[in-house]
Each structure stands twice: as C-alpha cells, then as structure tokens.
C-alpha cells in the first residue's frame, strides 16, 4: 500500500435549515398566531482517529468533504431535522492545519479522539420567535446560517517512541528488521528508505516500545532538500533519537562529519529536536576501518556513550534496546506546537482583540463596498423578499453601526452600497 502522509482537502460544514413563516389556522382556534418552526442545525465535519488506518491514502482521492445541510422548519412550530455529521476517519498521529494560515486546528493522538474541523451553521428562526406586542403577526423568518468552509492541510506524524536517524545506508532498516517483526525494504547498494516503517520492539526484560525507521537524511534537509521536511515531520513525536553511524565508512564517507551534519539538520528544524535524548550507535563494526574510525570519534567526543553494533548479525543490539527503554521511562512527550501555539488540552482564558464585524471600502464615483464576516453572515441569514424584510435588515445594519460608518467615510445620499453582490441605495 502506498504511504501517503500529507494531503490538502476542501471541507464544508452543513448550512442550517431555514426557518419558515407560517400561521396556526385551525377551525376552533381563533387568532392562532405565528407558528413557523425553526430550521435544523447543519452537520459538522468531524475528524476521528481510527487505529486501523496507517496512511492518508483515502483522503488523497477525496478532495472535498461536505456535510449535510439542516432541514427547513415546519408548520405548528415543528423543528427541522438536524444535518448528519460527516465523520472522516484518520490515522493516529494526524494533525489538521488551516491551509491559509498554517494554524493547527486539531492534533489527533488518542484512539477514538474526535475534533470538529468545520462547525455547522445554526438553523434559522421561524416567525413565531419574532412575535411582539407591536407585531402580533410577523411575516418574517430567518434563513439558516452557512456552515464553515475552508481548505485544510492534513498531515500524518508517526507516533513512535524512538526514531532511527542517520544518512542513507547506515543500517537503520536492518536494525529495525532485526529487533522487531517489521520488514522494511533493504538493499545492498546505496539506498534510502522513502517512507517510514514502524515496528514494535520487545526488550529482553519484558519492556516494549515503538521504533520508527525514518527516511535517510541528507545535508540541507532542514531547508527542504532531499526528502527534507517529509523526514523531519515524522521525528517530531519521537521521545528518543537513535543516531546510527556507519563507522566502517565503506563508501568513503567520514563518520564524524556524518554525525555532525545530521545533528546540524536536527538542530535547525523548528521543533527543538536536539532537546531529545540521543543514543549514538556505531554500526558496521565488522568492517576494516571501523575500529580506527571509532577511536577518532571517541577522541573528538569523549563524553558521548557509543554503542558498538553489527546489525546484520544481531551483535550489540541488546544494550541499545535497554538504554532506549531506560530513557523512555524518564523522558516526557515533547509538544509539537511552537511556543506561540496553544495546545488544546484545556480552556485558555486570554484577551483577544474583537474582530471587526464589517469593513467599509470607497470604490469611487459614489460606489461603496461593505464586507466582513459579520455583515456577510447577517445578510445570508436575512430574507429580503418584502418591505418588512428590507426594513428589518436595515435595522440590523443600523444596530451594527454600518450607517454611521458609511457617513463617517463620506457616503452621500443616493450613493450605491454593495453588500454580498447586492446593491442598495444609501438614503439619509
């Protein structure tokens, strides 16, 4: 199965159902009054963790996710049906970001965890809500609120406890295949894994953890070269990094230089990867130059514990597994959010400047444009089919302060004001 770990899709929550204008008309009920029911809530777009999934392949061919609209209200004050939520199954470790701003909407790490990615619109109110002492028979009802609509970037970041890093062909895939039942692709020539592999590792003393064989790094990966961020994205969740070095240097590379280049790439990535404990594995110690290279490495880095291994014959790996399990027992999880991001584990109370409900733009020649989330939502929920509807919408605009804002901007009597592609004449 092809491994897909990043997909961009368009999602749209359901629109709320329209409220209706109706009156109670029964033989023995004089002056029955307004009885138009409310519209139903639209359906949300919800992402849910499915532990049976390991890739975002399903979303690769589902470019749009649209939830059901709410039902319209009915007579006798009956409520319209709520729209059905659309649930999108994703693998554990999925992150959903706003494609426009890059802000993290949801981080799905627990089995069965759900997150509303696009909120449904509420249903419009029926005319019985607008009955008053001054208007006992209102002819007005609301349309349903539009659901949220946005483009999102869906990313899969593997939930591994320990991640294997190193240049291509240093023996990472072989190490994983020896210590677990994972069967990554292995080649005798210079070869790099192009998709991550996971394996459950059993330590001889009974402890266990998940190890990931991650795609090989190259110099410049933190700037996106090679597999670049495709690699680094998957190590963000790992609590322990196992740095595998080809100490035999059979291909002519310098093990010390390789070690420094990989650590430089990890340090330059945005999620503080060098803060994680690192285990250094000197692999291919059966080769001719390995002992001499290891001696040079220890001379330059005398304070680093180096584990000597020959993965192909399962030599020296138990010590690596014990050390990894010991570190995992005392190493907490590292958040994948930047310091400026807020992790959604509770309620955060903070001051946020209120966003303007509308903006006024002078287009010249007596033409004005009013836009903004607040006025557009109000317009879409308003009916303008009669004089009463138009007067009610005018009162809403006055209450929002649009009239005053237009006057202050220089709007004159008779100028044309456009709202949601509909033209109105400004009257003093």
Annotation-wise, does 166 bind a ligand? Answer: yes
340 is in an annotated binding site: no
Pairing of strands 45-49, 86-90: parallel
Say if residue 109 carries a ligand binding annotation.
no
Give residue 181's pLDDT. Answer: 67
The arithmetic mean of pLDDT across residues 158-181, rounded, is 82
**Domain 359-425 class in CATH:** alpha beta
- Confirm whether 1-156 and 162-330 share one CATH topology: no
Burial of 193 (0-12, 13-18, 19+ CB in 10 A): buried
**Which CATH topology does 162-330 take?**
Rossmann fold (3.40.50)
Residue 283 counted as an annotated binding residue: yes
312 is in an annotated binding site: yes
Q: Is 351 annotated as a binding residue?
A: no
So what's the pLDDT on residue 189? Answer: 37
Could you tell me which of 114, 2, 119 has the C-alpha nearest to residue 58?
A: 2
Of all residues in the chain, the percent with pLDDT exceeding 70 is: 85
Residue 119 labeled ligand binder: no
pLDDT band with cut points at 50, 70 and 90 for residue 11: very high
Q: Is 86 annotated as a binding residue?
A: no
Task: Answer whether 12's CB lies under 8 Å from 67's CB.
Answer: yes
Q: How high does pLDDT run on average in the chain?
A: 82
Domain locations along the chain: 1-156, 162-330, 359-425
Instruction: Please provide the CATH number assigned to the domain covering 1-156.
Output: 2.70.210.12
284 assigned ligand-binding residue: yes
Q: Which residue has the higher pLDDT, 125 or 173?
A: 125
- Pick the residue with more confidence: 212 or 309? 309
| 277 labelled ligand-binding | no
In total, the chain counts a number of residues equal to 428
84 is in an annotated binding site: no
192 is in an annotated binding site: yes
CB within 8 A of 193, min separation 6: which ones? 168, 172, 173, 184, 185, 213, 214, 215, 216
310 is annotated as contributing to ligand binding? yes
What's the average model confidence in pLDDT over 92-115? 88
The response to whether 104 counts as a known ligand-binding position is no
What is the structure's pLDDT at 211?
A: 87
> What's the average model confidence in pLDDT over 110-127?
92
Share of the chain above pLDDT 90, in %: 32
Please state the rounded mean pLDDT for residues 199-222: 73
């Amino acid at each position: 199965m092809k491994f897909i770990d990043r997909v961009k899709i368009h999602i749209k929550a359901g629109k709320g159902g329209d409220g209706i204008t109706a009156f109670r008309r029964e033989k023995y009920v004089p002056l029955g009054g307004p009885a138009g029911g409310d519209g139903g809530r639209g359906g949300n777009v919800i992402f849910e963790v499915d532990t049976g999934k390991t890739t975002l392949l399903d979303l690769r061919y589902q470019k749009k996710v649209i939830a059901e609209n709410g039902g319209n209200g009915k007579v006798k004050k009956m409520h319209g049906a709520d729209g059905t939520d659309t649930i999108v199954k994703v693998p554990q470790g999925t992150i959903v970001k706003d494609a426009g701003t890059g802000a993290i909407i949801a981080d799905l790490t627990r089995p069965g965890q759900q997150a509303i990615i696009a909120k449904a619109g509420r249903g419009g109110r029926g005319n019985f809500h607008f009955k008053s002492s001054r208007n006992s028979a209102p002819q007005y009802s609301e349309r349903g609120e539009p659901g949220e609509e946005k483009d999102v970037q869906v990313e899969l970041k593997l939930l591994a406890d320990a991640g294997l890093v190193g240049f291509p062909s240093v023996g990472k895939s072989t190490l994983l295949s020896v210590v677990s039942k994972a069967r990554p692709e292995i080649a005798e020539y210079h070869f790099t894994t192009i998709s991550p592999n996971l394996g459950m590792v059993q330590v001889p003393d009974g402890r266990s953890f998940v190890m990931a064989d991650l795609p090989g790094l190259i110099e410049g990966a933190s700037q996106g070269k090679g597999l670049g961020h495709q690699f680094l994205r998957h190590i963000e969740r790992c609590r322990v990094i196992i740095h595998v070095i080809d100490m035999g240097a059979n291909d002519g590379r310098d093990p010390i230089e390789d070690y420094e280049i990989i650590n430089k790439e990890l340090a330059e990535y945005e999620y503080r990867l060098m803060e994680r404990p690192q285990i250094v594995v000197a692999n291919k110690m059966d080769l001719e130059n390995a002992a001499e290279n290891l001696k040079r490495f220890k001379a330059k880095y005398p304070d680093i514990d180096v584990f000597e291994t020959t993965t192909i014959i399962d030599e020296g790996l138990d010590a690596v597994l014990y050390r990894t399990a010991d570190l995992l027992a005392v190493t907490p999880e590292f958040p994948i959010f930047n310091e400026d991001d807020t992790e959604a584990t509770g309620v955060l109370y903070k001051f946020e400047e209120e966003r303007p409900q509308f903006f006024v733009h002078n287009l010249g020649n007596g033409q004005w444009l009013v836009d903004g989330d607040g006025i557009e939502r109000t317009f879409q929920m308003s009916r303008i089919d009669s004089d009463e509807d138009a007067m009610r919408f005018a009162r809403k605009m006055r209450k929002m302060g649009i009239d005053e804002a237009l006057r202050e901007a220089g709007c004159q009597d008779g100028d044309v004001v456009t709202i949601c592609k509909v033209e109105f004449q400004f009257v003093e």
